[in-house]
């Protein structure tokens, strides 16, 4: 039987990591026209990030890793960061290659990144909505409305670029890659939740 509380904690952990590698990488911050946009995204995600950190504190050090009690955020840090960075970089590379003449690559990259974040938050919503356990459901209820608002904000960012700059055929090429990356994130959540059960007590 699945430990749904553990699923919840790993969803929080891997979402925190995904947002971190997305917006803290030097390449993205240095990209043409992106620093101000990255700052705006970070501000909009502030409440969600604070909630994620609160949930990670709740998870505590109830995990055994290499014979020691270990905080959730310290489990397999390098492989997690590497895999999520690969997913983001592949989206950025695809977006940059799809930029039509006269459109800055940064605009396409930003469009793809906003799509990735919105897809991640939808995946979180779907995963949390499928949980029947009272504790994680109550925890997610505290941030659910804000998550919906943030999804709408990121989608509005994408729409603003799409309406003015990018032919629909170019956007269609990004959609499957964004969906694949979000599915890969959710699969990671379930795999890690099974790999590292909680050792409470």
Read off the tokens for 20.
């971190």
Using alpha carbons, select from 151, 145, 141 the residue that is nearest to residue 182: 151
Measured CA to CA, the distance from residue 16 to residue 42 in angstroms comes to: 12
Q: Where are the domains of the chain?
A: 4-195
Measured CA to CA, the distance from residue 90 to residue 78 in angstroms comes to: 18
pLDDT by 10s per residue, the chain, length 201:
789 999 999 999 999 999 999 998 767 767 767 788 889 999 999 999 999 999 999 998 889 888 888 899 889 999 999 999 999 999 988 888 877 666 677 788 888 899 999 999 999 999 999 988 888 889 999 999 999 999 999 999 988 876 666 666 667 778 899 999 999 999 999 999 999 998 865
How far does the chain reach from its first CA to its final CA, in angstroms? 19
Question: Is 91:116 a contact under the CB 8 Å cutoff?
Answer: yes
pLDDT of residue 175: 86
pLDDT of residue 168: 66
pLDDT of residue 107: 80
Measured CA to CA, the distance from residue 184 to residue 164 in angstroms comes to: 31
Q: What is the pTM of this model?
A: 0.91
Using alpha carbons, select from 139, 116, 125, 130 the residue that is nearest to residue 9: 139
pLDDT of residue 34: 79
């Amino acid at each position: 039987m699945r430990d749904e509380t553990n699923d919840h904690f790993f969803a929080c952990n891997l979402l925190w990591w995904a947002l971190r590698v997305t917006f803290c990488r030097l390449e993205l911050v240095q990209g043409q026209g992106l620093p101000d946009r990255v700052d705006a995204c970070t501000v909009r995600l502030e409440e969600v990030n604070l909630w994620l950190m609160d949930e990670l504190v709740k998870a505590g050090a109830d995990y055994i890793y290499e014979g020691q009690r270990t905080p959730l955020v310290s489990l397999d840090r390098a492989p997690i960061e590497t895999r999520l960075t690969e997913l983001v970089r592949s989206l950025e590379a695809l977006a940059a290659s799809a930029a039509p003449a006269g459109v800055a690559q940064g605009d396409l990259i930003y469009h793809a990144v906003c799509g990735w974040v919105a897809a991640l938050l939808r995946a979180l919503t779907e995963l949390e909505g499928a949980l029947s356990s009272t504790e994680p459901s109550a925890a997610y209820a505290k941030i659910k409305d804000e998550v919906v608002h943030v999804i709408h904000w990121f989608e509005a960012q994408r729409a603003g670029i799409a309406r003015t700059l990018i032919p629909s055929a170019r956007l269609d090429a990004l959609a499957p890659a964004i969906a694949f990356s979000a599915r890969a994130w959710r699969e990671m959540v379930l795999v890690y939740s099974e790999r590292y059960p909680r050792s409470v007590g």
